[in-house]
């Protein structure tokens, strides 16, 4: 499943003390559309389709422009993830080989490919591209964040955990707080995970529905994994509310509904996913 953060390949790390504690009451629910407004998914993806069409035209007109190829790859990968379209995601990765051929000195090409490969759990390929990007002096922050993910999936917890915590402390954002929330969950610190997820939600300053939908999906996965199905269903529904055709959101919601004994609705959703 492309929108489920992969588990580490070795044994789980030992529980540790959380640094995401707090004393304020938790909301315990996703923010509503009124509380956190986002663009309509139809409008957002319509704009993305138009952007892709224009980028396709521009790259045909200027096939030697590495920056255009890089941008086209990124949009394809984003749309492919939310459509759960492996062909589109692979096309994004293949374009980065073209980007690298056009400008072998541009670290953005292997770094973007490493990130895309990691999202598809191709860890060996991602590591090789990461090292190439490092050699080319690519963006240090992106390299450090991706290295932490690869170290986590290699079971190098003594390296990955401090790196994840450092990133959140140095660059508090929706992304770094969400990653720390996932870490707290993996370490068995469920209340700290909830607090970190809510801090991630509070820092959203983008009207894109993608960020909110992805956050709610991850919160639902957290709840489902500890058997709190009613809460998981609330978060999965919130993800699908933001993006009705979000494949991973519908799939996880269908699975949670089935586990909760709500098979009629679950079946309808599975049929939607298959279609």
The answer on pLDDT for 108 being more than 60 is: yes
pLDDT in tens, 152-207: 999 999 999 999 999 999 999 999 999 999 999 999 999 999 999 999 999 999 99
Find the Cα–Cα–Cα–Cα dihedral 254, 202, 175, 73, rounded to 10°.
70
Mean pLDDT of the chain: 94
pLDDT in tens, 66-83: 999 999 999 999 999 999
User: What band does 95 get if pLDDT is binned at 50, 70 and 90?
Assistant: very high
Residue range 115-132: average pLDDT? 97
Helices 108-119 and 66-83 sit at what angle, rounded to 10 degrees?
A: 10
Confidence (pLDDT) at 184? 98
Find the Cα–Cα–Cα–Cα dihedral 118, 50, 47, 51, rounded to 10°.
50
The reply to whether the predicted model has a pTM over 0.75 is yes
Helices (H) and strands (E) in the chain, counts: 13, 0
Residue 154's Cβ-side half-sphere holds a number of Cα atoms within 13 Å equal to 16
Confidence (pLDDT) at 3? 59
The answer on pLDDT for 14 being more than 90 is: no
Q: What is the distance between the alpha carbons of residues 100 and 115, in angstroms, rounded to a whole number?
A: 15
Residue 29: phi and psi, rounded to 5, are -155, 160
Helices 157-170 and 174-186 sit at what angle, rounded to 10 degrees?
A: 140
Residue 255: phi and psi, rounded to 5, are -65, -45
> Which residues fall within 8 angstroms of residue 105, CB to CB, at 6 or more apart?
136
Residue range 16-31: average pLDDT? 79
Spatial CA neighbour of 42 closest among 215, 242, 254? 242
Q: Residue 258 corresponds to which tokens in the numbers above?
A: 């089935």
Instruction: Return the residue matching tokens 């591209």.
Output: 129
């Amino acid at each position: 499943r492309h929108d489920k953060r992969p588990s580490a390949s070795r044994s789980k790390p030992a529980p540790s003390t959380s640094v995401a504690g707090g004393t304020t009451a938790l909301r315990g629910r996703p923010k509503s559309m009124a509380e956190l407004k986002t663009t309509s998914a139809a409008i957002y993806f319509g704009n993305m389709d138009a952007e892709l069409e224009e980028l396709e035209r521009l790259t045909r007109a200027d096939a030697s422009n590495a920056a255009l190829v890089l941008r086209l790859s990124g949009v394809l990968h984003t749309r492919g993830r939310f459509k759960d379209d492996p062909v589109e995601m692979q096309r994004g990765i293949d374009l980065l080989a073209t980007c690298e051929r056009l400008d072998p000195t541009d670290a953005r090409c292997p770094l973007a490919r490493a990130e895309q490969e990691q999202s598809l759990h191709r860890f060996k390929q991602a590591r090789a591209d990461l090292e190439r990007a490092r050699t080319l002096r690519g963006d240090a922050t992106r390299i450090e964040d991706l290295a932490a993910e690869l170290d986590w999936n290699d079971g190098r917890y003594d390296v990955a955990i401090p790196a994840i915590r450092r990133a959140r402390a140095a660059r508090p954002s929706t992304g770094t707080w969400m990653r720390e929330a996932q870490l707290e969950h993996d370490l068995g610190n469920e209340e700290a995970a909830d607090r970190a997820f809510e801090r991630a939600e509070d820092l959203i300053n983008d009207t894109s529905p993608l960020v909110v939908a992805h956050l709610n999906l991850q919160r639902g996965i957290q709840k489902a994994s500890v058997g709190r199905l009613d809460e998981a269903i609330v978060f999965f529904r919130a993800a699908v509310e933001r993006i009705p055709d979000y494949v991973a959101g519908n799939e996880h919601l269908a699975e949670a509904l089935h586990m909760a004994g709500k098979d009629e609705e679950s079946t309808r959703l599975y049929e939607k996913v298959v279609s």
